[in-house]
Amino acid sequence: MAKTGQKILIVEDEPDIRKLVNYNLAQERFKVLEAEDGEQGLKIVQRDKPDLVILDLMLPGLSGMELCKILRERSETERLPVLMLTAKAGEADRIVGLEMGADDYLTKPFSPRELLARIRAVLRRRSTEVQQGRPEGVRAYRFDGWELNLNTHRLRSHDGTGVPLSNGEFSLLVVLLQAAQRILTRDQLLDMSRLHSDEVYNRTVDTQIMRLRRKLETDPTNPRYIQTERGSGYIFNVPVETVY
Ligand code: CA
């Protein structure tokens, strides 16, 4: 059950979809705000400070992508959960949406039940992060030209490209960077990154490490950053700068 009055803004130019979403969310005790274009959406975000934004990708004027980018660039909204709606189902669009900083992504047509499940998952993830707390005041970690932003969860490579990370990969990378140049066992990595408590992760730490290497390393088979310590675990083996 939603906490009474959690505010959800829907930015969508199709009145029928706004109506459908408004009706279904109101049933679940969410307070729903509506905007029919990006400019209006931005004004409502600033004025009413919603807890989550459902953002249509194709909007007249300011697009959903542009609005998402603006929200992520401003410190007061960089952590505002954004659920992107789109008519496009392509994987490329999904990745672009997540790179722009959307927390999740839903393809039209969607069922109200699925929308609610996604909203709850995103809100729960955000509140868990707040409770677990990050290291006091740490905004980002930098290493060798890379930056991992802890507010937006975005990883940026040398050349400024955004690299999408799953939640599991993000938590694991945070742990590795926090403990840079110290060996961590698989159990420690699993415990500290809480891979097992967030979503259902069937994959082992090793598999997640392999995926991270593919995203980070020039040669994943001969890794420079995330190195294997035979018989003991893993070590993030380059210096990491903490940004406050
Ligand atoms: Ca639209």
Domains identified in the chain and CATH numbers: 7-128 (3.40.50.2300), 140-243 (1.10.10.10)
CB 111, CB 118: distance < 8 Å: no
Question: What's the 12 CA to ligand 1 centre distance in angstroms?
Answer: 6
Could you tell me which residues come within 8 angstroms of residue 8 by beta carbon, excluding any fewer than 6 positions away?
25, 30, 31, 32, 33, 50, 51, 52, 53, 54, 119
Question: What's the 29 CA to ligand 1 centre distance in angstroms?
Answer: 25
Question: What's the 182 CA to ligand 1 centre distance in angstroms?
Answer: 49
Question: What's the 18 CA to ligand 1 centre distance in angstroms?
Answer: 10
Rounded to an integer, the average pLDDT of 37-54 is: 96
Question: What's the 36 CA to ligand 1 centre distance in angstroms?
Answer: 9
Give strand pairing partners of 243.
140
Question: What's the 58 CA to ligand 1 centre distance in angstroms?
Answer: 4
Mean pLDDT value across the chain: 85
What global pTM score does this model have? 0.58
What pLDDT is recorded for position 227? 96
Residue type, 55: L
What pLDDT is recorded for position 93? 63
Q: What is the pLDDT of residues 189-228, one digit of tens each?
A: 877 776 544 443 445 688 889 989 999 999 999 999 999 9
- Tell me the range of 88-102, 114-128, 188-202 where mean pLDDT is highest: 114-128
- Tell me the range of 32-36, 72-76, 191-195 where mean pLDDT is highest: 32-36
DSSP strand pairing (233-236 vs 104-107): unpaired
Q: What pLDDT band is residue 159 in, cutting at 50, 70 and 90?
A: confident
Q: Which of 7-16, 44-53, 85-94, 202-211 has the lowest mean pLDDT?
A: 85-94
- Give the C-alpha distances (Å, rounded to integers) separating 53 from 12, 21, 75, 185, 209: 11, 12, 16, 39, 32
Question: What's the 37 CA to ligand 1 centre distance in angstroms?
Answer: 9
